[in-house]
Structure 1
Amino acid sequence: MLEWLQQADDIWQYLGLFILAILPWIDIFVVVPLGILWGLSPVVVSIVGFAGNFLMIVLLALFFRQLAAWRQRRRERKGITAPTKRETRARQIWERYGIPGLSIVAPILLGTDLAALLALSFGSSRMRVVVWMGVSLVIWTVILALGSVYGFGYMKWI
């Protein structure tokens, strides 16, 4: 799919990047560098990546109760009672630094989607999760775009 997407017209590439950004576990850490590597506009790639990832955060916040109930039923069926290592690490960060700290480090450690779900399950309000995850996404999108542009630009000279 990525090969077809890379060879498609710009509008289809941007749409494909948007869809990739919406998918769980594919964050701006993949989408932004990939789009810039394809030679697309870094500004548009950043906006598209941010918008797709942020849309997923908003949807998770809106449907958190249904997702939490489904997840609990699934864990019970599998016999899982203890939290995973990721959940334990996220809980430690959340208890120490709150939602701002979790949202800033989450894209590196967990992914924004999982971090948003965990923050909601820890008792954070939907609005706080959406706002702080949005702030985090803006920061990381800018860092990734700048790093990709200047990093790939530097590699062309080698």
Structure 2
Amino acid sequence: MSSSPYEGLHDFVDQLPEIAQPLVVAVLGMIPYVEGEGSAALGILVGIHPVVAAVAGATGNILAVVLVVLLSSRVRESVVARRSQRATDALGVMSADPRDEQPNRRSKGRQRLSRWLVRFGVPGASLLAPVVLPSQLTAAFFVASGVKKGWVILWQAVAIVLWTGLVAAAALGVVSLLGW
């Protein structure tokens, strides 16, 4: 049996109470770019049961996305209301869609995500987005684009569970293949 390069982390995790191990994985899952996939893979690599690591990582990621969606939707509602009020005060009529006033400069990732949203809808864009951006940023983008928050939460959760499961299976395969 070969020695794991994660042996020091494995020893650290073994010293934690068993109930704290999935909590650490869940907290890691809340971090953009680590997400459920990365936290589950790391949990598996350091010796946490694969199902426990995957569920904890996905749960942490989903909780972070729900928080981002709820906060983003409140911000969007405030911006839309403020713009509408300004337009009503200035013109005596209701404002046009607030998305029309957004600047055209966007990062390559946001441009790609916008194209995917138009081409594949929220389900397809949610499933593809982890290749380009963290789920928290994707969720905020969808909400800012006017997608209903329940729809964003549903499809982001589906994507998180799918991607976390795939990466966890790959991590389990690596651990098994290398005999860690």
TM-score range, shorter chain: 0.7 to 0.9
Does the alignment pair 1:6 with 2:13? yes
Aligned with 1:82 (options 86, 105, 125): 105
Amino acid at match of 1:127: G
Q: Distance in 2 between matches of 1:95 and 1:81?
A: 16
Distance 1:8 1:66, change over 3 A: farther
Aligned with 2:28 (options 20, 43, 52): 20
Aligned with 1:61 (options 56, 64, 69): 69
Structure 1 unaligned segments of length 5 or more: list them: 71-79
Aligned with 2:139 (options 107, 113, 116): 116
Q: Distance in 2 between matches of 1:83 and 1:123?
A: 17
Q: Tell me the equivalent position of 1:77.
A: none
Aligned with 1:104 (options 127, 135, 138): 127
Distance 1:96 1:22, change over 3 A: same
Q: Distance in 2 between matches of 1:8 and 1:116?
A: 36
Q: Distance in 1 between matches of 2:28 and 2:75?
A: 21
8 Å CA contact 1:5, 1:16 repeated in 2: no
Q: CA RMSD in A?
A: 2.4
8 Å CA contact 2:72, 2:140 repeated in 1: yes
Greater CA drift, 10-19 or 83-92: 10-19
Q: Distance in 2 between matches of 1:34 and 1:110?
A: 20
Does the alignment pair 1:144 with 2:151? no
Structure 1 SS opposite 2:33: coil
Per-residue CA deviations over 1:89-120 (Å, capped at 9, x if unaligned) read: 11011111111111101112111111111111
Does the alignment pair 1:134 with 2:157? yes
Structure 2 unaligned segments of length 5 or more: list them: 1-7, 80-102
Distance 1:67 1:23, change over 3 A: farther
Q: Tell me the equivalent position of 2:45.
A: 37
Total equivalences in the alignment: 147
Kindly name which structure, 1 or 2, has the bigger radius of gyration based on alpha carbons: 2
Identity %: 28
Amino acid at match of 1:104: L
Distance 1:125 1:151, change over 3 A: same
Q: Distance in 2 between matches of 1:129 and 1:5?
A: 37
